[in-house]
Structure 1
Amino acid sequence: MTSEANQTSPEILDLTPSPRLLEVLGDIPYKPWQCLAELIDNAFDDFLSDASGDPQNPGDVHITLPRQGSPEGDAFVCVADNGRGMSRTQLELALRAGYSPNSRYGNLGLFGMGFNIATANLGAITEVRTTRAGDETWLVAEINFPEMQQNKSFAVPLRQEPKDDPGHHGTEITVSKLRPDKRSALRRSQVASTIRDQLGRVYSYLLRDKQAVPEIPGTSLAGRGFHLYVNGTAVKPRLPCIWSSSRTVTYQGSEINAVQHIDHDLTPAWACQDCGHWHRVSPEKCVECGSENLDLRERKIVGWVGIQRYLHLSDFGVDFLRNGRKILVSDRDIFNWENPDTGESVVEYPIELGATQGGRIVGEIHLDHVPVTYQKNDFKRDSRDWITAVQLVRGEGPVQPRKAANLKYEPNTSPIGKLFNAYRRNDPGTKCLIPGEGGKALHDKAREWASFFRQGLPEFSTDEKWYEAAQKADRHRTEKSQERPVPTRADGTSQVSAGTAGSRPTSDVLIRTGLDFEDDVATTDASIASEPSTLDAVETEEQRFTRYRDHASSMADLSGAVSVAHLGKRHITVYDTTEPLIDHSGRVTPCVSRTGRGNTVEVYVNSDHEVFKEFGRDPRDYAFIEIAEVLRALANTSDSTARVAAEVTTQFPDQRFTDASMRERATVILNRVRDQLETVGSPHAPLLWNSLPQVEKQAAEKHAASTEPRLVWDAATLSGEFIPHLTPDGIAALVRAHPELLLDDAVFATKWSTWNDPEARASQVSRLSRLLEVIGSFLANTSGNTRVDLAMMRLTLDAISTEMAEASE
């Protein structure tokens, strides 16, 4: 072979892709809102990078979607912004497949293919119009996928069109000849509303203004104030409905704020603006792609985690943002802990009422330096930066103190660890920041109030409504604790200590069922009988109801919107008043009502009426009857009062009690007892273990084997780790064996040592242990509990709740 042959120039392979590539991009699974988000990102990037922009006019983006009923051939999607617009060169680069003018950090649009994927997903033809302030024309480019494929060329025509206002600027992207699946999806009813809601979540930070969330002072929630519209209607940012950062609860002697701020500086690093790789030391070139486009950038983890004003089965979790856009929304994987030794993943939150009510920890964490997937629907979870962020937010070890201690981890003091431990309980009252009424948590009512918050009703804009209900629960608990029963001897005589001589014995059963009598029944009767009849003759109805209300407190769990039959909604407010009530004929009655303006109904119940005090009736039941009578009359329906009352009752879900809810509540209470017992009893673990009957020892070991198989059981009986596995009967056995350890505000507030009479002490022990055994029998009955069983269990749980000591937290 000659040397000339050897020096022949090598052949060139043309690897220009087929225009079919752009059509294939349309097969990548993108939801309609994701397609729109890719185009919105480009507009918001322009707003964010415009240092000369007017702060009073931060930028608008208008989205036009096909309307229901529009002809198929006329259906199109348009995304228009009033950004700075593009030059010819900028436009050409922006439309080029695979090219991105953005650096890999500091921008929403990151990968260069987002525009092509989004438009190809939507339709066959895309027209881009752009102009800058001062330009005399629009630059107009049309990308026609079928024609490009037919011509086998990526070249697209560019034309110029005159514009009326030289000062106008911005970009419009219009996609026509929509794909059949997208056209059908976008033309469905309510789709525009659904997309607005989704975009309001994803762009919440960028859309809200700096004062949108007063519950968190400072800048961690300050937004950018961008404006986004879908079919002419503004997209409202979905604001967090959280307790104020000034609200606190006490945990282990410290005040834990309801909002935990996060502001953590990481070591600056060199970021490759082409491939996104981070370098901890200064390189000459990127070690991944060889690019010299490197930038030393700050890296920070900022944001907050806090407590929502309501619990929800799905509406909780932490949002993670990159450059202002939410990549993960309501992420709950953050509440899982993976054991590094076994690889086992454990869901740690929510624990209490998790199956029926859900959780309430929420947050927003900005991770501008952490890489994301190309679809921008997740972070790269195997990256070192993501792992570092997760450990900062939720800690390295378990958030559950007992689990952490058993696995030899230090107590979890991360932001989520603090919130978990301080707010894990859902008892009504300010101690846990849970609204309540009459000893019950108002979970459904709190969620209803949250819907009013989302609607922008001023009354629900702050957490005051929720806090007032929590304070009311505190007052109820205080009143109940003052009614603790006095022990009685076997002969029925009271056992009173010094200073209580002459007081009337009070039955525990009467206290729990509301049938306790006043010392002087005649006084109550006299007060009713002495009600001045002359007052009725001169007092107007308005004055009378004003008097009722002046001496009343609202029953929040029975207030809300109610509708029956063909009657529109009526807003019901129920009041518990101490004033004797009279009906239209002037006779004393336990309950009255009146209709007001604006479809409102006020119902007043006098809980001091004899039917409640002496016959054990529930004031709420009478309120339901009164509401039913009013609505039945307004609706002019022939339905019976009983049927209407039943329909009304079902519209107050906080009033229901089912086998599942009673079991969950019982489990929650027992777990609290076990937690407190473990704290108090661990130093005496061998003594307590030896005091258990053999059957309870076997039951505890069997439970431990099924839930903690790695537990060393012999060691657990010496350390106290057996206590979380005790049955209710086992706890009752310990109460009988060692009241000196468990009573007197140790595990239970029940007094024992303060009584001198042995029979009085025995009565306290017997009553408390019986309550625990009733709970055990209820949980053991898996064949189904009757309505009477459920009612008895509710009373038992109410009683045991009042007997529990305040946790030593």
Structure 2
Amino acid sequence: MSQEFDLTPDPRVLQMLGEINLPQWRCLAELIDNSIDGFVHAVRSGAPIEAPEISVTLPSADNENARVMVRDNGPGMSFESLENAVRAGWSGNDPLSNLGLFGMGFNIATARLGLVTEVWTSRAGDPEEVGVRIDLDELRTTRSFKVPRQTRPKPHHNTHGTTIVISRLKGDQRGYLARGNNQKTMRKHLARAYSALLGQSEAGKIRLMVGGTRLAPRRHCVWGEDRTVSFPDGTVARAVEHIDVKLAPRRYCTHCMRTLAAAEETCPTGSPSCEVVEAERRIHGWIGLQRYLHNTEFGLDFIRNGRKIEIANKDLFEWSDGDTAEVEYPTDDQRGRGRFVGEIHVDHCRVSYTKDRFERDDPAWSEMVRVVRGEGPLRPIVAKQRGYAGNDSPLYRLYQTFRRSSPQGKNGLWSRVLVVKDNDRAQQMANLFDEDDPDYLTDERWWQLVVEQDKEVLGEKPGEGGETPLPAGFVDEPGTSGTGDTTPTTTTTTTTPPPQPEPSPRRQIHDLSRKYVHPTFRVEYEIQAYGVAGNDPDLPAGLPWVLKLDDVATRTYGFLVDVSHDVFRSTTMTPLDGLLTELTHRTVEFLQGQAQDPSVAGVLADFRKQYCLDSRLDPQEIITLATSVLGDMARAVPTLIEDGQGEAMFAELHVSERDSVARRMANRGVPDHKALIADGRFWDYADPESLRGLFGRHPEIFLDGNYWNDPYASLDFGSEAISEQARTAVRSRYDAYLSDAVWLANQTPSDVERASRDAVIRASCSVRLLKSDVSD
């Protein structure tokens, strides 16, 4: 047996693959795909893996030792299989039924993240693991095409699986991967991309761990399948449309990875490696209504063999005649918000080599489009004008009833469009759905709001009367204008997009960019805020800010603010104060001459009450916030410590502290206090001062991206004395924050009222600084 791996082609090719701009989560997905394919192959070989698991370890700090590791308990590989697996361009997978495709995903992903990759693998019964180390710098320097085969003993012959370790991470990749918020984002993407496989796959229920967190399938928050809208003519519109269409089989070349045209008997490339097989083809999935509206969080997910290749894609919401493309959805919402979502499986369609897009020139894609949205425009009048006949596609049926975000006509019922009027509240409930709150898993809470909205339309007060049957013809039916004319009509709203920030020196201020509504007079402003330099051409010389009406139709304003202006060098003036001052004056001017006679003082007070919650020194709110932040910290401890560490922590407490914890557990009727102590959940019953003491003893639990992003254990200034001094400074700073939070948590509202304003401001700032940087 050869003692070397042949890595032909030239190793420089591997480095060039690393320049492909593949997002970090997709790099991880390429490696996860290989593990899943291994599990599937084991099932098809008659030797399924029990409890299949994939674990992804991410860097905890941005330093030279940072690395990425992907480990699975799959069937493992032989020497020959491993040699092929790391060779660019080779793929032993069946491209029709596996996730892996071109044989370059491994090379692209690993070279994108780092310069050194090690792979270790073994099968059950193998006496040792076989491995390979790929050092891109070394390969480039030596110009060698070969690297030595490595082996290492196994503790148990029956163990099996594969481990990939990527080290010497590139600087930008290392910094990105080590940040807690970015890890949270990657987990979110992966949970959605593998949502079908994490539930139940051919290989069983796969356990996927990323950064120490087990991923649960990220599901769509949609209205229930039983939600329908019935009309007097007997037609029924459903909130969810299912799709399952079996297409005629087609010939497929497994070497070229392309579907042949119906008239082609052989692959046109004519390569001796071509192998043509007959492939079964099926398009299945669903499309439906999300329970809330959003500017970006809508669209269709396109899936290949269980993995989502494209997420929230909006291509099917456009119609093109070949020359121009027109957006057909959303057009009936003034803010451009949509809610059509879905999951479409097109396993037989070709995808790009980076597996982030289905190839649009594959005939299979056009077939899928015809099945899901039909021929021609979704708008009936436009379709008729363009010579298209009737459309009965799933997307067309959904579009005809639910394209609007509010009822048609002044007496329209919200139940006819399944929309919660208060979309902010609908989104807040959707967040609870994502958190698996059992009260929000079904759509009942949303439906209750819709019913109350309908009662208001019918003149009923909430809580009075029962269900009121609707008289025939009370609501305009689909295809009517409400005037007796049954000709379908389409209204296309063309709006000017809000102003976009210039590349430099403007930058968007996301905290200020939102919709502002005066709580009393309901005057609304859509604000896009940007930080600008003092010499910005649209900012009058010497002024700190300016508010401009940029779009009359949508009442969108641009707020340009020079945050470096002297007026903001103050603890009592912020850009938000400037914005609310401008909105106050515009509201007063708008209401002049009307029945209301508002004052500047009253309008400004209302605006500040609504939008300055973070700076409001309300004693009860401050105390509640401090208690909540400390509670979040306590509840996070079990997720941050090692198994069995809870008992040791409990033993570290003073006797009085342990008694206090036990007393609270008893008062709350905890049935098994020993279990809570073992896994660290007892901290939820500890005094705030005890939690502060925990940080003093174990700051490493919370820092370095675990709970807060500030470095601690990872600090290294080349001298242990200097490094320890830096750690002491970090520890002291957070201890001061905790001291303030503990003080607030132990106060009563009257105590806070008597305290000095400066002391309350300081403590409030400390509480905000204690909010987790990375918590889910």
Query: Helix, strand or coil: the match of 1:479?
Result: coil
Structure 1 residues 128 and 420 mapped into 2: Cα distance closer, same or farther (>3 Å)? same
The 1-side partners of 2:453 and 2:247 are apart by 44
1:464 to 439, 444, 454: 444
Q: CA deviation at 1:155?
A: 1.0
Q: Pick 1 or 2: higher relative contact order, CA cutoff 8 A, min separation 6.
A: 2
Query: Helix, strand or coil: the match of 1:161?
Result: strand
Query: Helix, strand or coil: the match of 1:83?
Result: coil
**Counterpart in the other structure of 1:182:** 173
Say yes or no: does 1:32 pair with 2:13: no
Q: CA deviation at 1:635?
A: 7.0
Cα contact 1:105–1:369 (8 A) shared by 2: yes
Cα contact 1:130–1:169 (8 A) shared by 2: yes
- Cα displacement string for residues 75-105 of structure 1 (whole angstroms, at most 9, x for unaligned residues): 1111111110001111111111211111322
Q: CA deviation at 1:409?
A: 2.1
Cα contact 1:138–1:162 (8 A) shared by 2: yes
Counterpart residue identity of residue 266, structure 1: L
Structure 1 residues 570 and 344 mapped into 2: Cα distance closer, same or farther (>3 Å)? farther
Query: Helix, strand or coil: the match of 2:246?
Result: strand
Q: Percent identity?
A: 40
**Counterpart in the other structure of 1:387:** 366
Structure 1 residues 20 and 203 mapped into 2: Cα distance closer, same or farther (>3 Å)? same
Counterpart residue identity of residue 22, structure 1: L
Cα contact 2:8–2:87 (8 A) shared by 1: no
The 2-side partners of 1:360 and 1:288 are apart by 43
Say yes or no: does 1:110 pair with 2:92: no
Q: CA deviation at 1:339?
A: 2.4
Counterpart residue identity of residue 43, structure 1: S
Q: CA deviation at 1:426?
A: 2.7
- Cα displacement string for residues 286-330 of structure 1 (whole angstroms, at most 9, x for unaligned residues): 222433422211011111101111111110000001111111100
1:248 to 205, 222, 228: 228
Q: CA deviation at 1:169?
A: 0.8
The 2-side partners of 1:319 and 1:36 are apart by 19
The 1-side partners of 2:144 and 2:136 are apart by 10
**Counterpart in the other structure of 2:644:** none
Counterpart residue identity of residue 425, structure 1: R
Matching of residues 465-614 of structure 1 within 5 Å: 465-479=445-459, 565=617, 566-568=622-624
Cα contact 2:253–2:276 (8 A) shared by 1: yes
Structure 1 residues 423 and 20 mapped into 2: Cα distance closer, same or farther (>3 Å)? same
1:134 to 118, 122, 125: 125
Cα contact 2:39–2:48 (8 A) shared by 1: no
**Counterpart in the other structure of 1:299:** 281
The 2-side partners of 1:55 and 1:460 are apart by 36
Cα contact 1:425–1:432 (8 A) shared by 2: no
**Counterpart in the other structure of 2:433:** 453
2:348 to 369, 389, 402: 369
**Counterpart in the other structure of 1:62:** 55
Say yes or no: does 1:50 pair with 2:42: yes
Counterpart residue identity of residue 194, structure 2: Y
Cα contact 2:49–2:75 (8 A) shared by 1: no
Cα contact 2:227–2:238 (8 A) shared by 1: yes
Q: CA deviation at 1:230?
A: 1.3
The 2-side partners of 1:59 and 1:142 are apart by 26
Cα contact 1:301–1:389 (8 A) shared by 2: yes
**Counterpart in the other structure of 1:682:** none
Q: CA deviation at 1:432?
A: 2.9
Structure 1 residues 426 and 167 mapped into 2: Cα distance closer, same or farther (>3 Å)? same
- Cα displacement string for residues 472-528 of structure 1 (whole angstroms, at most 9, x for unaligned residues): 222222226999xxxxxxxxxxxxxxxxxxxxxxxxxxxxx9xxxxxxxxxxxxxxx
Cα contact 1:632–1:639 (8 A) shared by 2: no
Say yes or no: does 1:239 pair with 2:193: no
Q: CA deviation at 1:280?
A: 4.7
Query: Helix, strand or coil: the match of 1:434?
Result: coil
Cα contact 1:435–1:468 (8 A) shared by 2: no
Q: CA deviation at 1:225?
A: 2.8
- Cα displacement string for residues 733-770 of structure 1 (whole angstroms, at most 9, x for unaligned residues): xxxxxxxxxxxxxxxxxxxxxxxxxxxxxxxxxxxxxx
Say yes or no: does 1:414 pair with 2:393: yes
Structure 1 residues 367 and 382 mapped into 2: Cα distance closer, same or farther (>3 Å)? same
Relative to the length of structure 1, the TM-score reads: 0.55
Matching of residues 221-370 of structure 1 within 5 Å: 225-250=205-230, 253-280=234-261, 285-290=266-271, 291-340=273-322, 343-355=323-335, 358-370=337-349
Query: Helix, strand or coil: the match of 1:190?
Result: helix
Greater C-alpha radius of gyration: 1
Cα contact 1:68–1:189 (8 A) shared by 2: no
Structure 1 residues 363 and 58 mapped into 2: Cα distance closer, same or farther (>3 Å)? farther
Q: CA deviation at 1:570?
A: 11
Cα contact 2:52–2:204 (8 A) shared by 1: no
Structure 1 residues 32 and 299 mapped into 2: Cα distance closer, same or farther (>3 Å)? same
Query: Helix, strand or coil: the match of 2:95?
Result: coil
**Counterpart in the other structure of 1:119:** 110
Cα contact 1:208–1:223 (8 A) shared by 2: no
Counterpart residue identity of residue 295, structure 2: L
**Counterpart in the other structure of 1:434:** 418
Matching of residues 678-697 of structure 1 within 5 Å: none
The 1-side partners of 2:8 and 2:200 are apart by 46
Structure 1 residues 61 and 223 mapped into 2: Cα distance closer, same or farther (>3 Å)? closer
The 2-side partners of 1:250 and 1:276 are apart by 46
The 1-side partners of 2:46 and 2:458 are apart by 58
Cα contact 1:250–1:422 (8 A) shared by 2: no
The 1-side partners of 2:428 and 2:626 are apart by 15
Counterpart residue identity of residue 174, structure 2: R
The 1-side partners of 2:100 and 2:335 are apart by 39
Say yes or no: does 1:144 pair with 2:132: no
Matching of residues 200-219 of structure 1 within 5 Å: 200-209=191-200
Structure 1 residues 335 and 283 mapped into 2: Cα distance closer, same or farther (>3 Å)? closer
1:18 to 10, 30, 35: 10
Query: Helix, strand or coil: the match of 2:74?
Result: coil
**Counterpart in the other structure of 1:95:** 86
Cα contact 1:258–1:307 (8 A) shared by 2: yes
The 2-side partners of 1:81 and 1:308 are apart by 35
Counterpart residue identity of residue 475, structure 1: K
Say yes or no: does 1:75 pair with 2:66: yes
Structure 1 residues 56 and 456 mapped into 2: Cα distance closer, same or farther (>3 Å)? farther
Relative to the length of structure 2, the TM-score reads: 0.57
Query: Helix, strand or coil: the match of 1:314?
Result: coil
Structure 1 residues 360 and 172 mapped into 2: Cα distance closer, same or farther (>3 Å)? same
Cα contact 1:261–1:303 (8 A) shared by 2: yes
Unaligned runs of 5+ in 1: 1-14, 211-221, 484-512, 514-561, 572-596, 599-630, 641-809
The 2-side partners of 1:56 and 1:129 are apart by 18
2:379 to 397, 400, 424: 400
Unaligned runs of 5+ in 2: 1-6, 408-412, 469-520, 522-612, 628-667, 669-683, 685-747, 758-776
The 2-side partners of 1:412 and 1:636 are apart by 67
Counterpart residue identity of residue 443, structure 1: N
How many residues are matched?
A: 474
Counterpart residue identity of residue 275, structure 1: C
Cα contact 1:196–1:236 (8 A) shared by 2: no
The 2-side partners of 1:457 and 1:198 are apart by 21
Matching of residues 667-746 of structure 1 within 5 Å: none
